[in-house]
């Protein structure tokens, strides 16, 4: 079973920041938080990951709470092409990276 809890769906207006929450209250000290997204029926796409510090890349920002029990993925200026299912995953980097996908959040960007 997935170790994360995400809202099943969210809406956001185009051009606004999309903030996607994720709860991972049972995260272990050596586990990272990963975010992937899946656009329509394509293969999932890596977005960002972090351990305890906030992270930013060209796609998004990841804010992890100090107790690491929750995080937020931020898409700063959402576009219609950001409409997708977003998966929050926790896992350790030990041997193969066996990702456990939950149901994710279906994010719809509205014009």
CB of residue 28 vs other proteins: minimum separation in angstroms? 16
Place of tokens 């993925």: 73
3-state SS assignment for residue 21 = strand
Say if residues 33 and 47 touch (Cβ distance below 8 Å).
no
Cα separation, 72 vs 105, in Å, equals 12
Mask for 52-91, x = binds other proteins (CB under 8 A)? -----------------------------------x----
CB-wise, 94 or 111, nearer to other proteins? 94
CB of residue 7 vs other proteins: minimum separation in angstroms? 15
Q: Which residue in 53, 58, 67, 96 binds other proteins (CB under 8 A)?
A: 96
Cα separation, 105 vs 86, in Å, equals 5
Pairing relationship of beta strands 70-75 and 18-23 according to DSSP bridges? antiparallel
Mask for 8-37, x = binds other proteins (CB under 8 A)? ------------------------x---x-
């Amino acid at each position: 079973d997935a170790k994360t809890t995400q809202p099943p769906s969210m809406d956001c207006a185009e051009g606004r920041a999309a903030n996607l929450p994720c709860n991972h209250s049972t995260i272990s000290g050596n586990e990272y938080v990963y975010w992937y997204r899946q656009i329509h029926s394509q293969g999932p796409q890596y977005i960002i990951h972090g351990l305890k510090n906030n992270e930013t890349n060209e796609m998004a920002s990841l804010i992890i709470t100090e107790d690491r029990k929750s995080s937020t993925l931020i898409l700063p200026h959402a576009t219609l092409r950001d409409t997708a299912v977003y998966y929050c995953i926790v896992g350790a980097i030990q041997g193969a990276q066996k990702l456990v996908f939950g149901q994710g959040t279906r994010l719809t960007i509205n014009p």
